[in-house]
Amino acid sequence: MKLVIIGNGIAGNQVAFDVRKKDRDAHITILSAETVPEYDPCSLPYFLGGECGRTDVFRKTPEDYTTHNIDLVYDSRVVSIDPEAKTVTTHGGGQISYDKLVLAHGGDLFIPPIPGIDNPGVFSCKQLAETEKLAAHNGSSAVVIGSGAIGIEAAEALKRKGYAVHVVELMDWILPSLFDEPTARRLETALKGYGIHVFTGEKVLEIKGTGEVSAVVTNLRTIACDTVVVATGVVPGTALARTAGIDTGRGIQVNRQMQTSVPDIYACGDCVETIDACTGETAMFQLKHNAIEQAQVAARHIVGEKTRYLGAYAFARAHFFSTHAATFGKTQRATDCILGDKRVIEREDKNNYLRVMLLNNQIVGGQAIGTFADGLGLLIGAMWRKDDFMEIAAKVRTTPRGGAVHTWPMLRLGNLLGM
């Protein structure tokens, strides 16, 4: 079998090495747009902030590919797929044939059409090469456009490097797709406490400067700066799939075996539109654990094993300096369009905050800051099992303290919910 994988990221590598474990004869080729072995994108802000070295970001060495007889071809961005001829074409014009093809090319950084965005003082933190340029840049004042998880992590890293840091967010609060306003405002206060300036509900209109960045102009102010980081989100790459006539929606559409609508072409990772494991709804959770699991399913199916993807999990964290927050499931805002009996339970104790979203007495989401975040796993379990919250609360209240067997989870849940 000739297996070709497009993308040398988390998902692509998982497919390649999993297939190799089960099929010693397969001819495996990874076509990479980049020029380095697999690294962990989640580590890039830590590298930027000097918390780890460049070598620490890698998940593979060049030798790992040779040892496992995997052909990694650098600088080979695939530009089109011909499913009739079963070939792919790279930007250099090279053609590679396949028996089975895996699209694992992740998402693309969304670049907003802002005048000045092409200025050399404008960077991103999504890929290693870009992050290296930002790390080597000799600036002192930065504006981070966008306050998603990547933007906040980049802001922290630049602060650690001694920059004056400003975060500009178009939406009304930071981390808007992960947290509701009450959680986000608390995190904003924490960020400001670390000396990071945060402006929400503000739109960047222009990046000023010729050759070098001199300022960022928003609808409300002008911020003098010499560095801009674009962190305005990741959009799933669907253009390549469309060259093969593959069905796409928000991302590449796949079935439970990670097969696309075109025979012998699979897709996994940040480029796919998948389903929420808890609700069965269409979902786009571009997170590492989901990419790995989807790739494992694709690999099993490629080698002929029976397999079924159960769906993706919305679980993410936001961590900066000594503030730690986590979120799972739906935000309150995401439940706005759903009919049913909705309730939000909130709890606050010093710097620890918890909010749990209930829909018809079932947990559908939760957010926590501080030590309350440590107990979120218990709530995720309850959401997954679709436990009735009233029954949980009754059990918590009636569980005997001390001595009885199997009481620990209930006591822990009781502590978390303040019952």
By the rule CB under 6 A, 287 interacts with ligand FAD: yes
By the rule CB under 6 A, 380 interacts with ligand FAD: no
CA distance 415 to 368: 14
CA distance 3 to 406: 49
Q: Is 302 helix (H, G, I), strand (E, B) or coil?
A: helix
**Backbone phi and psi for residue 43, each to the nearest 5 degrees, phi listed first:** -85, -10
H helix runs in 348-407, sequence order = 376-385, 389-398
Site map 34..53 versus ligand FAD, x via CB under 6 A: x------xx-xx--------
Closest CA to 154 of 48, 235, 228: 48
Closest CA to 45 of 105, 107, 127: 127
Q: According to CB under 6 A, which one of 4, 125, 252, 312 is a site residue for ligand FAD? A: 125
Looking at beta carbons only, is 110 or 408 nearer to ligand FAD?
Answer: 110
Region from 27-35, 134-142, 273-281, 337-345 binding ligand FAD, contact rule CB under 6 A: 27-35
Residues 144-173, interacting with ligand FAD (CB under 6 A): 149-150, 153
By the rule CB under 6 A, 273 interacts with ligand FAD: no
Q: According to CB under 6 A, which one of 183, 200, 227, 286 is a site residue for ligand FAD? A: 286
Region from 30-38, 196-204, 246-254, 370-378 binding ligand FAD, contact rule CB under 6 A: 30-38
What per-residue string of b and e applies to 343-360 under the rule 16 or more CB within 10 Å gives b? eeeeeeeeebbbbbbbbe
By the rule CB under 6 A, 311 interacts with ligand FAD: no
Q: How far is the CB of 269 from ligand FAD (least distance, A)?
A: 2
By the rule CB under 6 A, 250 interacts with ligand FAD: no
**Cα torsion for 166, 169, 175, 180, to the nearest 10°?**
130
Residue type, 329: G
By the rule CB under 6 A, 7 interacts with ligand FAD: yes
Residues 329-358, interacting with ligand FAD (CB under 6 A): none
Q: According to CB under 6 A, which one of 100, 105, 300, 301 is a site residue for ligand FAD? A: 105
Q: How far is the CB of 227 from ligand FAD (least distance, A)?
A: 17
By the rule CB under 6 A, 392 interacts with ligand FAD: no
Give me the half-sphere count of Cα atoms (radius 13 Å) on the Cβ side of residue 418. 12
CA distance 115 to 357: 40
Looking at beta carbons only, is 209 or 251 nearer to ligand FAD?
Answer: 251
Q: How far is the CB of 419 from ligand FAD (least distance, A)?
A: 31
Q: According to CB under 6 A, which one of 4, 31, 225, 230 is a site residue for ligand FAD? A: 31
**Cα torsion for 393, 396, 399, 400, to the nearest 10°?**
-130
CA distance 401 to 392: 16
Q: How is the chain split among helix, strand and coil, in percent rounded to 5? A: 30, 30, 40
Q: Is 77 helix (H, G, I), strand (E, B) or coil?
A: coil
Interface with ligand FAD: number of residues (CB under 6 A): 34
Looking at beta carbons only, is 10 or 165 nearer to ligand FAD?
Answer: 10
Site map 205..224 versus ligand FAD, x via CB under 6 A: --------------------
Residue type, 411: L
By the rule CB under 6 A, 77 interacts with ligand FAD: yes
**Backbone phi and psi for residue 5, each to the nearest 5 degrees, phi listed first:** -115, 130
Binding residues (CB under 6 A) for ligand FAD: these are: 6-12, 31-34, 41-42, 44-45, 77-78, 104-106, 125-126, 149-150, 153, 237, 240, 269-270, 286-289, 291
